[in-house]
């Protein structure tokens, strides 16, 4: 198990950090990124204290081609890249604007972060992932398939990511492509979507990892999954 390498974006907090923690506990070598160097340094050191193998943190913006190239080079240097997790996302303007008032420059940035950047990273990582018959996990949202007022910018970017994933799964038979809706969580991004509201009733990211980890470790085929369904399946299996 210690021979496997995972590359996770947006891993200094939230779901990315929770999933990286699980992987560190189970012997994976890690390459992680985040935009803020200080946050990433703390996260990387915490993960390194848990991990048997190396944890490499590289701070930067996923929209920067040189940064994404550095991430893939670091993962390839560790060897056996088996898992790419496109977790980094941006919500866009907050409070969430209607589409009639959505700033178009902001919409372009949301799609650059949530769609173009993941594809760029996928393109760079595909040669290594083909060799290992690895997995691409793209983190999506129910906003990709449901119509929520104010969520047009973010939701349209996640819908684009889902269709990108769907087509990629057909084009790359040697690589498993998963797009996963983790559900509402008590995270900074979710708080930004609901400024001033109490979101303490939402589950913590750590509570969603069991389902996510089970999916990655399973032989499930490429496709769209929700963590709520995965957790329900796990509970039924335990019963």
Q: What was the pLDDT predicted at 2? A: 52
| Strand 135-139 to 81-86 pairing | parallel
What φ, ψ does residue 199 adopt, rounded to 5°?
Answer: -110, 25
DSSP structure class, residue 203: P
Q: How many residues does the chain have?
A: 239
DSSP structure class, residue 37: H
All domains of the chain in start order, with CATH: 5-238 (3.40.50.720)
Q: Three-state SS string across 148-184, please?
A: CCCCHHHHHHHHHHHHHHHHHHHHCCCCEEEEEECCC
Q: What was the pLDDT predicted at 97? A: 97
Furthest C-alpha separation in the chain: 51
Tokens 């866009």 sit at which residue? 92
* Nearest in space to 215 (alpha carbons), one of 225, 207, 205: 225
Question: What is the rounded CA–CA span in Å between residue 49 and residue 182?
Answer: 27
Q: What was the pLDDT predicted at 138? A: 98
Q: What are the counts of helices (DSSP H) followed by strands (DSSP E) for the chain? A: 9, 7
Ranges of the chain with pLDDT below 70: 1-2, 237-239
For 146-190, what is each residue's pLDDT tens digit?
999 999 999 999 999 999 999 999 999 999 999 999 999 888 888
Q: Where are the beta strands (DSSP E) in the chain?
A: 5-8, 29-34, 55-59, 81-86, 135-139, 176-181, 223-226
Bridge partners, residue 57, by sequence: 32
Q: What was the pLDDT predicted at 229? A: 93
Q: Where are the beta strands (DSSP E) in 185-239?
A: 223-226
Q: What was the pLDDT predicted at 102? A: 98
Q: Is there a contact between 178 and 162 (Cβ–Cβ < 8 Å)? A: no
Q: What was the pLDDT predicted at 225? A: 98
DSSP structure class, residue 99: G
CA 185, 211, 5, 1 dihedral sign is positive
Q: What was the pLDDT predicted at 238? A: 63
**The pTM is what?**
0.95
Q: Where are the beta strands (DSSP E) in 87-228?
A: 135-139, 176-181, 223-226
């Amino acid at each position: 198990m210690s021979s496997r390498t995972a590359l996770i974006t947006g891993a200094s907090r939230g779901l990315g950090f929770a999933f990286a923690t699980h992987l560190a506990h189970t012997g994976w070598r890690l390459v992680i990124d985040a935009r803020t160097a200080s946050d990433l340094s703390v996260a990387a050191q915490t993960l390194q204290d848990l991990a048997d193998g190396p944890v490499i943190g590289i701070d930067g913006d996923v929209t920067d081609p040189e940064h994404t190239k550095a991430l893939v080079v670091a993962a390839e240097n560790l060897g056996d890249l088996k898992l790419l997790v496109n977790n980094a996302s941006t919500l866009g303007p907050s409070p969430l604007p209607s589409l009639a008032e959505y700033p178009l420059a902001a919409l372009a940035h949301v799609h650059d972060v949530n769609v173009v950047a993941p594809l760029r990273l996928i393109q760079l990582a595909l040669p290594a992932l083909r060799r290992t018959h690895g997995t691409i996990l793209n983190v999506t949202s129910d906003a990709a398939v449901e119509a929520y007022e104010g969520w047009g910018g973010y939701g349209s970017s996640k819908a684009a990511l889902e269709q990108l994933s769907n087509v990629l799964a057909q084009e790359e038979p040697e690589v498993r492509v998963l797009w996963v809706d983790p559900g509402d969580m008590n995270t900074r991004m979710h708080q930004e979507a609901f400024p001033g509201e109490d979101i303490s009733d939402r589950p913590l990211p750590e509570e969603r990892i069991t389902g996510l980890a089970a999916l990655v470790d399973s032989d499930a085929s490429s496709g769209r999954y929700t963590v709520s369904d995965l957790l329900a399946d796990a509970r039924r299996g335990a019963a």
